[in-house]
Amino acid sequence: MLRLYDRSVGKFRNFGIFFFGNRLCRNFFDQSADWVFIIAATGNNSFEISIENPDIQCDPVVEIFNFSYTSLLKHDQGCAGENEIVDWISTESGIYYVKISNDADVSYPKQTAYTLKISTKNAQDSGFIYGNVVGLPSDKTIEKLTILATALDVYDITSDQRKLLQNQNETKYYMAGIRPGKYQMTAEYPGYLPFTGEVVVRSWDYSSIDIALSPVGDIDNNQMIDLTDLVICMKIVAGVCEYEDLPISRADIDENNKIGLADIIYMMQWLKE
């Protein structure tokens, strides 16, 4: 399954979901370009990108970028109304973006429709898990992040073969070659609370689940330690807190199974930094 990507906000557009080998009708009336997110991995690295049946004022241009938005390839037949077909083999595993833009000189974007088809020439009977990593500051070493996918409905299948990618705007991960089924996702990073979630993987599909990390001490679960957390922690220690249902692990920074003065001092130092 492919999804149109809105680079301006770093998110996927819900209306842009379609499957490999299927066709999606688009036009350039509402935006200057479409962005499509693809994953290249060992055994799944050969793609055909087709722009079919472009309208008379649609001169499609296909450009491929790596995760850092460095252009790798640009293809343009140079004429409106002509199909564009790009055969591309990725030399490295990773996340890539395909940009489709209109090079026709039109003052009012009428008759700019086209049909997009992306297919892979060496698809396997497996899927991908991918998503954003949020809550982890950019100065943190992402390689310390461990991610594990454990099958819930298929016996004894686990995978920790994650790939992590980071640019100036975002951090993403993906896991390739995952057998279809339902999986429990767990993620851990030193000094942060463990993450858990569930995702369903289908054959040759991109299954999305974002990993949201919160530092130990993030009592109100807003993915940061702030004054609110410090005040709550001080109330707990003073015995005047109303948060009896609070999981101790969220504030037990020194891991002694209780919330005490050491946790308050840690929060104050964190806020000072």
Q: Other CB atoms closer than 10 Å to residue 252's CB: what's the count?
A: 17
In this predicted structure, what is the pLDDT of residue 14? 39
What per-residue confidence (pLDDT) applies to 10?
Answer: 47
Pairing of strands 94-102, 60-65: antiparallel
pLDDT at 73 over 90: yes
CB atoms within 10 A of CB 217: 25
Q: Check pLDDT > 70 for residue 173.
A: yes
Share of the chain above pLDDT 90, in %: 19
Q: Are strands 127-134 and 206-208 parallel, antiparallel or unpaired?
A: parallel
Pick from 152, 180, 174: nearest CA to 161 = 174
In this model, does residue 11 exceed pLDDT 90? no
- Each residue's pLDDT tens digit, 218-227: 877 777 788 8
Domains and CATH numbers, the chain: 2-120 (2.60.120.380), 127-212 (2.60.40.1120), 227-272 (no CATH)
Q: What is the pLDDT of residues 74-89, one digit of tens each?
A: 998 888 888 899 999 9
Collapse the DSSP code of 222 into the 3-class scheme (helix H, G, I; strand E, B; otherwise coil) and give the result: coil
Measured in degrees and rounded to the nearest 5, phi and psi for residue 95 equal -100, 135
CA distance 10 to 73: 22
> What percent of the chain lies above the pLDDT cut of 70?
83
Residue 34, pLDDT > 80, answer yes
Bigger pLDDT: 109 or 76?
A: 76
User: Which of residues 258 and 30 earns the better pLDDT score?
Assistant: 258
Q: In what order do the strands lie in the sheet with 71-75?
A: 11-18, 2-6, 33-40, 94-102, 60-65, 71-75
Whether the pLDDT of residue 170 is over 70: the answer is yes
Tell which wins on pLDDT, 263 or 100: 100
**Which of 58-72, 117-131, 234-248 reaches the highest mean pLDDT?**
58-72
Residue 64 confidence (pLDDT) above 50:
yes
Query: Kind of pairing, strands 60-65 and 71-75?
Result: antiparallel
Highest mean pLDDT among 75-79, 165-169, 196-200: 196-200
pLDDT in tens, 239-264: 776 656 666 677 777 777 777 888 88
Neighbours of 39 (CB within 10 A): 20
Examine the pLDDT at 102 and tell me if it is beyond 80. yes
157-167 average pLDDT score: 80
Average pLDDT, the chain: 81
Pairing status of strand 195-201 against strand 181-188: antiparallel
203 vs 30: which has the higher pLDDT: 203
Q: What is the pLDDT of residues 134-155, one digit of tens each?
A: 888 777 788 899 999 999 876 6
Structure tokens at 237: 């220690």
Name which of 39, 31, 33 is nearest 51 in CA terms: 33
| Cα gap 53→16, rounded to integer Å | 18
Q: What is the pLDDT of residue 233?
A: 82
Q: What pLDDT is recorded for position 17? A: 47
- Alpha-carbon distance of 151 to 153, in angstroms, equals 6
So what's the pLDDT on residue 123?
A: 61
Single pTM value for the model = 0.75
Hey, what amino acid is at 225? I
CA dist., res. 121 & res. 205, Å (int): 15
